[in-house]
Amino acid sequence: MRLVHTVSELKEVLAEVRTERSIGFVPTMGALHKGHLSLIERCQQDGNFTVVSIFVNPLQFSSEADYEGYPRTLGVDARLLTDASVDVLFAPSAAEVFPKEQSFPEIDPGVVGERFEGEFRPGHFAGMLKVVSRLLDIVVPDGAYFGEKDAQQVALVTQMVDAQVHSGRREPMSVMVCPTIRSEQGLALSSRNLRLSGAELESATELYGALVAGSKAGKQSAEIVEAAKAALSPAIRLEYLELVDASSFEIVERIPSGGARLIIAAWVGDVRLIDNLLIGGSK
């Protein structure tokens, strides 16, 4: 695996590869776990030259404390990626991604971005889209791989890429969505889980338990949400738990034929976790 820190070196490496191979890209913020590795595996299975980025994007954190406290484990991550036979690890500095002498357009997340995560984490989606767009401009991949765990993020990235391709601003590329990888107890793997104590880790499994309870409760949103909430103990401080349309993230009254997404965000101790489950659809 080649470790690259600068945009110019990455572009040089990829210019050569591009003539012969498709390029697959997996953007991450590091502190890698099996969820990230599943995206990488899928990218490799699709036959791509695989580029993984590790960049803790300051623009998408709502508080300085959350940004500072985000786990940074580059040495361990690099070893994991080497073992996974990744071709390139791109680990740039903030100045490399957003050089001061250049300006980068703000990207409006639109109405989908105002709901749920957008409401509880002001600025998060605008910051996320700005960095994803910039990274896609640097890597110019044929496909980029994202986790369904961050379902609203996937919806917004897909919306952004479609618009950019449609306007001719970006070459056609695919946004690939990969299923959520969970612990044996059902907890969605997340870099933030590293900050949970043993007891908190146990409580955190209630989030998935609630989604499953909701998924078995019928077709009406009211009964689904009620059953899901009933599965949560006081250790879980809920921010939202709703049944929504899988692409618009608008609240739905009942599960439509294509399915709906039950989404949850909650605090366990001082760690904020999100999860979701597609229910009633074919997936």
Where is 207: in which H helix or E strand?
A: helix 198-215
What positions carry a catalytic annotation?
Answer: 36
Tell me if 38 contacts ligand AMP by CB under 6 A.
Answer: yes
Of the candidates 24, 35, 109, 141, which one interacts with ligand AMP according to CB under 6 A?
35
Of the candidates 4, 7, 10, 29, which one interacts with ligand AMP according to CB under 6 A?
29
Of the candidates 147, 225, 275, 278, which one interacts with ligand AMP according to CB under 6 A?
147
Question: How many other C-beta atoms can be found within 10 angstroms of the C-beta atom of residue 241?
Answer: 22
Between residues 181 and 213, which has the closer beta carbon with respect to ligand AMP? 181
Backbone angles phi, psi at 19, to 5 degrees: -70, -20
- Burial of 26 per CB tally in 10 Å (0-12, 13-18, 19+): buried
Helix, strand, coil: what percent of the chain each, to 5? 45, 20, 35
Between residues 142 and 275, which has the closer beta carbon with respect to ligand AMP? 275
* Sign of the CA dihedral running 43, 45, 51, 54: positive
Q: Which part of the chain contacts ligand AMP (CB under 6 A), choosing from 29-37, 40-48, 67-75, 112-120?
A: 29-37
Tell me if 266 contacts ligand AMP by CB under 6 A.
Answer: no
Between residues 28 and 221, which has the closer beta carbon with respect to ligand AMP? 28
Three-state SS for 9-20 is HHHHHHHHHHCC
Between residues 45 and 103, which has the closer beta carbon with respect to ligand AMP? 45
* Angstrom distance (rounded) from CA 229 to CA 209: 10
Interacting residues with ligand AMP (CB under 6 A): 28-29, 35-36, 38-39, 146-147, 149-150, 178, 180-181, 188-191
